[in-house]
Structure 1
Amino acid sequence: MNQSNRSWNADLYQQKHAFVFHFGADVLNLLDPKPGERILDLGCGTGELTARIAESGAEVIGLDASPSMIANARLSFPHLSFQEGDARDFNTDQPFDAIFSNATLHWINETEQPSVLAAVFRALKPGCRFVAELGGRGNVARILNALAKALNELGMNDPVNPNFFPSVGQYTTMLETAGFSVTLAQFFDRDTPLADPETRLSDWIAMFRGDVLAALSDQDRQTVLAAVNDKLRPTNFRDGHWFADYKRLRFVALKPLDP
């Protein structure tokens, strides 16, 4: 989970948002790591998926811009290699057989996506693969709209959205412009159950829109959270569980062989 200008609560991430790396296991099936391959986990967060890649026998490095995420990863998996680094500007002395990324690319704004893809392209061996999943067009739109309305009701402006949630066509075009050949691109809805039904959507907002909450007084914060939960109960709560309205974009892209 890489976003250089954002401070992440790694403990909250592991305790209440494990779905991020649990669902990422499906993307590992697309990666299909092999023993002896050299693989980069780009935006590795607290390292759970990095460890899963290592179980295949691959040599894996986890890279993330968040010091707290990297610190937790090193504590949890001291036998693995983790480095602080920015997805928009990283280099390697030895190229990779594959680069993997889960729930990271949407934290980098649209104008900086070409820098990310150029860095990935440089870091891959010719003929090798970039496998990733990110939020797609309309991801968590109900949550974000409810948050904006709750703030508006207190006389505040809409919050700035730090995410880039592209369509399939938009992102595959970016990949092809960067020089990749796209072999798979999927877009799908994935309503995602949240960990704690008692806290409703409050933990999700605290984790992923904590900057918005931090700017509010204690009273306004409680008012906003209560309003968001009330607005979304008809659509995001069912069978005793709260859900985040996720939409995902998943792809496999190859760096062509040298001509």
Structure 2
Amino acid sequence: MKQRTVWNAQLYDQKHAFVAEYGKGLIEWLAPKPRERILDLGCGTGHLAHTIAQAGCEVVGMDASAEMVEQARRAFPELHFEVGDAADFSFTEPFDAIFSNATLHWVLDYQAAIACMYRHLKPGGRLVLEMGGAGNIEQIIRQLRTELQNRGYRSQSELQLWFFPGIGTYTSALEAAGFQVEIAQHYDRPTQLQSSAHGVEDWLSMFAGAFFEGVPEGKAAEIRAQVQAAARPHLFRDGHWYADYKRLRVMAVKPLRADKD
């Protein structure tokens, strides 16, 4: 059965706005042009789709979370948002570009997602993405798995929620689907969390809730607190918590003569 993450869209905007803030740099890679049709794949609460639309583009925002899409529609009623699966979506009109920020590491069937993106681009269209790369949030998740295991939550400790590839794995998959990869970067991006008291605990509540399914809330709170305490020597400095993010950023194009079509 596919694991569905239930998102708290308000908490996402209130305490994890860094996701959209870092995404603004990715828009510079996208360089949207007036009258282009652009898909924001994994649009979240719609802030980056709104920014892209200000360039005069027709933007479609899609996200797997109905909660996120509902909030995006309320915030930006002039834009089109819909719920969809990044590994299995369908639009009647192709796109000049597909933009995806902090989403594709949630898609375990990454080859299906790549095939979908390729099909939905016009020849000459571009794909601009950033996602978690190899080693992303390693400190936090290693400690989380240890705490769950130590408390007898074996199935939760073995959950595979994300796909964090290296450059070679992901660019090879893009090329196998027909893309021409123009730029690929893998880099460290320690990311400051909002709360100096509960930064890691808040991060776990927002992004790792699936690990706590079947765990009583009192026990889950204890585990989150213990993970944060164990991470302190590695992730707390100068009065702030930092998540140990490692990112993969890629720009690829669908060739004008696309053999895969």
Is residue 44–residue 63 contact of structure 1 (8 Å, CA) maintained in 2? yes
Unaligned runs of 5+ in 1: none
Of 125, 144, 148, the match for 2:145: 148
Provide the rounded CA distance (Å) in 2 between the counterparts of 1:4 and 1:86: 12
1:123 counterpart = 2:115: no
Provide the rounded CA distance (Å) in 2 between the counterparts of 1:215 and 1:194: 27
Cα-to-partner distance string for 1:201-224 (whole Å, 9 max, x where unaligned): 111001111122342223322321
Is residue 188–residue 247 contact of structure 1 (8 Å, CA) maintained in 2? yes
1:132 counterpart = 2:125: no
1:74 counterpart = 2:62: no
Cα-to-partner distance string for 1:109-128 (whole Å, 9 max, x where unaligned): 1xx21111111111101011
Give the alignment of 1:50-89 within 5 angstroms: 50-89=49-88
TM, length-normalised to structure 1: 0.95
Cα-to-partner distance string for 1:140-170 (whole Å, 9 max, x where unaligned): 0000011112223323322412100000000
Is residue 5–residue 209 contact of structure 2 (8 Å, CA) maintained in 1? no
Provide the rounded CA distance (Å) in 1 between the counterparts of 2:34 and 2:218: 54
Provide the rounded CA distance (Å) in 2 between the counterparts of 1:91 and 1:229: 41
1:23 counterpart = 2:22: yes
Provide the rounded CA distance (Å) in 1 between the counterparts of 2:179 and 2:67: 32
Give the alignment of 1:1-259 within 5 angstroms: 5-109=4-108, 112-157=109-154, 158-258=157-257
**1:31 is aligned with what amino acid?**
L
| Coordinate RMSD, CA, aligned | 1.4
**1:192 is aligned with what amino acid?**
T
Matched position secondary structure for 2:81: strand
Matched position secondary structure for 1:24: helix
Cα-to-partner distance string for 1:17-55 (whole Å, 9 max, x where unaligned): 111111011111100001111100001010000001001
Displacement after TM superposition at 1:108 (Å): 0.8
Is 245-254 or 205-214 further displaced after alignment?
Answer: 205-214
Provide the rounded CA distance (Å) in 1 between the counterparts of 2:163 and 2:58: 30
Provide the rounded CA distance (Å) in 2 between the counterparts of 1:90 and 1:130: 16
Cα-to-partner distance string for 1:188-244 (whole Å, 9 max, x where unaligned): 000000111122311100111112234222332232122111111111000111010
Is residue 64–residue 86 contact of structure 1 (8 Å, CA) maintained in 2? yes
Matched position secondary structure for 1:8: coil
Matched position secondary structure for 2:198: coil
Is residue 206–residue 213 contact of structure 1 (8 Å, CA) maintained in 2? no
In the alignment of these two chains, the number of paired residues is 255
Provide the rounded CA distance (Å) in 2 between the counterparts of 1:156 and 1:92: 41
Displacement after TM superposition at 1:4 (Å): 7.3
